[in-house]
Amino acid sequence: MASVNVCVIYYSATGNLHTMALAAAEGAHRAGASVRVRKVRELAPPEAVESVPAWARHLQDTADIEEAALDDLSWADALLFGTPTRFGNVCSQLKAFIDTTGGLWQAGALADKVVSAFTATGTAHGGQESTILALSNTFYHWGAIIVPPGYTDPVQFRTGNPYGTSHVTGVGGSAGGPTETVLQAARHQARRVTETAAALKAGRAA
């Protein structure tokens, strides 16, 4: 299988998406990929961050995680994006980073990248599907190749989301962080993305 580069790019306020990003990175690594994990820049004002102790603590705990740069997109054969939902949509922090990719898009450098997405919401129907679908609008414009997890592994029938791995933090979910089932789904999604990217890369080289 062709060697591929996978970059996991995410935003996390209190740690749920960070945990899922690490699981996705683990899945890609197990599938043989070279992996980068990158967070996007925090845009919220300090007073907003400090008003939520878990937010402030997580920002401090992940200070060593490199911030995403355009070079990471150029480097990667495959990309997994993680975002919490904000009113059923992509969070502003990740969207701000995506909005800097115009130059790469114009040069055609994002076309044919293999992409996928994962998310977390406060409630079971808080916008998991709509957030991933909204992020897919960007992928369509890039000309990227969207690889969802679908129902391609038994774990998907336990999580129930074919669009992308998702976690519920509030009512009906797991307030203590993503469950092992969710993390298994994230690993599977990343493995599927890696294997697809490798097959495409090998096919182009043949």
Q: Going by DSSP bridges, is the β-strand pair 89-90/78-86 parallel, antiparallel, or unpaired? A: antiparallel
The sign one gets for the Cα dihedral 4, 192, 159, 136 is: positive
pLDDT higher at 170 or 59: 59
Rounded to an integer, the average pLDDT of 161-186 is 87
Number of domains in the chain: 1
Per residue in 28-48, pLDDT tens?
A: 999 999 999 999 999 999 999
User: Per-residue confidence at 175, pLDDT binned at 50, 70, 90?
Assistant: low
Q: Which residue has the tokens 């079971």?
A: 124
Tokens found for residue 153: 């592994």
Mean pLDDT of the chain: 95
- Stated pTM of the model: 0.95
Rounded to an integer, the average pLDDT of 96-123 is 97
What is the pLDDT, as a whole number, of residue 124? 86
- The domain that holds 22 is classified in CATH as 3.40.50.360
Q: Which domain holds residue 101?
A: 5-205
List the beta strands (DSSP E) in 2-110.
5-10, 34-39, 78-86, 89-90
What's the rounded Cα separation, in Å, for the pair 105 and 110?
Answer: 6
Per residue in 64-92, pLDDT tens?
A: 999 999 999 999 999 999 999 999 999 99
What is the pLDDT, as a whole number, of residue 206? 83
Amino acid identity, position 157? F
What is the pLDDT, as a whole number, of residue 172? 56
Rounded to an integer, the average pLDDT of 113-138 is 95
Q: Which of 25, 21, 36, 33 is nearest to 167 (CA)?
A: 21
The answer, yes or no, to whether residue 2 has pLDDT greater than 90, is: no
DSSP state of 33: -
Rounded to an integer, the average pLDDT of 126-153 is 97
The answer, yes or no, to whether residue 176 has pLDDT greater than 80, is: no
Please answer whether residues 101 and 70 qualify as being in contact, where contact means their C-beta atoms are separated by less than 8 angstroms.
yes
